[in-house]
Amino acid sequence: MTETIALLYFWLKSAHIIFVIFWMAGLFMLPRFFVYHQESPEGSDEAARWVERERRLVRIILNPSMVIVWVVGLLLAWHISALSEGWFHAKLLAVLGLSAYHGWMIGYAKKLAAGERPIEGKKLRILNEVPGIAAAIIVILVVAKPF
């Protein structure tokens, strides 16, 4: 298997980066969808359309991208022997945090679909900054490998 991974290394690395971009795009889009959803009248056709948009974004982009990022990322980390590196542990922690954020957003989408609106739009706009901050930290860890 190691030889196969070595032959496919750059393809796997490319796939990892591509699906990180897809996942991050979804993580940026979904909170914005939530803001627009909450601004639509409760029970309206517009609110129902936002429920469907959110569901499709999660099902078609967010969930598959996150799974591919995790599988390919761990395979690459194992291949380059990064599993014992400090920078990798910090990256792993950041990616776990993003995964938790992802899960929280899916839960929030379910609340919105049920007609609940527990967080105001301003706070959702602030939460929209989480993936950007995490992405900056992760890129620094992977490129600079500070420890």
pLDDT tens per residue, range 30-67: 999 999 999 999 999 999 999 999 999 999 999 999 99
Tokens representing 80 are 């380059």
The rounded distance, in Å, linking the Cα atoms of 19 and 69 is 6
Cα dihedral angle (58, 60, 63, 68), rounded to 10 degrees? -160
- Annotated binding residue at 16? yes
| Count of domains observed in the chain | 1
The rounded distance, in Å, linking the Cα atoms of 7 and 90 is 28
- Annotated binding residue at 102? no
Tell me the torsion sign for CA atoms 112, 117, 118, 121.
positive
Which residue range is the domain that position 24 belongs to? 2-144
Angle between helical axes of 2-39 and 86-113 (0-180°, round to 10):
40
Does this model's pTM top 0.85? My answer is yes
The fraction of the chain above a pLDDT of 70, given in percent, is 100
8 Å CB contact between 67 and 84:
no
Helices (runs of H) and strands (runs of E) counted in the chain: 6, 0
Looking at this protein, which amino acid is placed at residue 113? A
Phi, psi of 127 (to 5 degrees): -60, -25
